[in-house]
Amino acid sequence: YEDGTTLVTNLEGNIYVIVQGEELQVPEGEQCIIIPGQPPNLMPVAKDDAAVTDEHTQVIIPVLDNDYDPNVGDTLAVDSVTQGTNGDVTIIDDYHVAYSPDPGFNGIDNFTYTVSDGNGGTDTANVRVTVHETSAQIDVTIVEGPGAVIFIWDDTLGEWAIDKDTEKPVNGTNHETGGEQDPITVAGGRDYYVWVDAFNESYLVWSCPEHWDIKAAPVGDAEAAYGPLVADALVSVSFIVVQ
Number of domains within the chain: 2
Q: How confident is the model at residue 84 (pLDDT cuts 50, 70, 90)?
A: very high
Structural domain contains residue 83:
yes
Structural domain contains residue 221:
yes
Task: Return the pLDDT at 100.
Answer: 97
Task: Return the pLDDT at 185.
Answer: 86
Q: How confident is the model at residue 1 (pLDDT cuts 50, 70, 90)?
A: very low
The whole-angstrom separation of Cα 148 and Cα 152 is 13
Range of 203's domain? 135-241
146 and 231, same domain (yes or no): yes
95 and 167, same domain (yes or no): no
Structural domain contains residue 186:
yes
148 and 160, same domain (yes or no): yes
Structural domain contains residue 6:
no
Calculate mean pLDDT across residues 73-78: 94
Mean predicted lDDT score pLDDT of the chain: 83
- The residue ranking higher by pLDDT, 25 or 198, is 198
The last residue of one of the domains, among 132, 152, 179, is 132
110 and 185, same domain (yes or no): no
Cβ(57)–Cβ(85) below 8 Å:
no
Minimal CA–CA distance to 185: which of 131, 224, 229, 143? 229
124 and 109, same domain (yes or no): yes
Calculate mean pLDDT across residues 8-15: 53
- The residue ranking higher by pLDDT, 196 or 4, is 196
Q: How confident is the model at residue 159 (pLDDT cuts 50, 70, 90)?
A: confident
> Any idea what the CATH number is for the domain that residue 220 is in?
2.60.40
145 and 209, same domain (yes or no): yes
225 and 151, same domain (yes or no): yes
Task: Return the pLDDT at 13.
Answer: 54
pLDDT in tens, 21-69: 455 565 666 665 555 556 678 899 999 999 999 988 999 999 999 999 9
- The residue ranking higher by pLDDT, 164 or 159, is 159
The whole-angstrom separation of Cα 44 and Cα 117 is 6
The last residue of one of the domains, among 106, 132, 158, is 132
Report the share of the chain in percent with pLDDT over 70: 76
58 and 116, same domain (yes or no): yes
- The residue ranking higher by pLDDT, 115 or 172, is 115
Task: Return the pLDDT at 34.
Answer: 56
Task: Return the pLDDT at 182.
Answer: 80
| Sign for the pseudo-dihedral over CA of 170, 137, 56, 134 | negative
Q: How confident is the model at residue 131 (pLDDT cuts 50, 70, 90)?
A: very high
| Verdict on whether the full-model pTM lies above 0.75 | no
> Any idea what the CATH number is for the domain that residue 98 is in?
2.60.40.10
Structural domain contains residue 18:
no
pLDDT in tens, 204-242: 999 999 999 999 999 888 999 999 998 889 999 999 998
Structural domain contains residue 2:
no
Task: Return the pLDDT at 3.
Answer: 43
Structural domain contains residue 12:
no
213 and 232, same domain (yes or no): yes
Q: How confident is the model at residue 18 (pLDDT cuts 50, 70, 90)?
A: very low
Cβ(81)–Cβ(91) below 8 Å:
yes
67: Cβ contacts below 8 Å, ≥ 6 apart: 44, 45, 46, 47, 76, 115, 123, 125
124 and 204, same domain (yes or no): no
Task: Return the pLDDT at 231.
Answer: 86
Structural domain contains residue 212:
yes
The last residue of one of the domains, among 69, 102, 132, is 132
Q: How confident is the model at residue 4 (pLDDT cuts 50, 70, 90)?
A: very low
Angle at CA of residue 166, ends 151 and 222, nearest 5°: 5
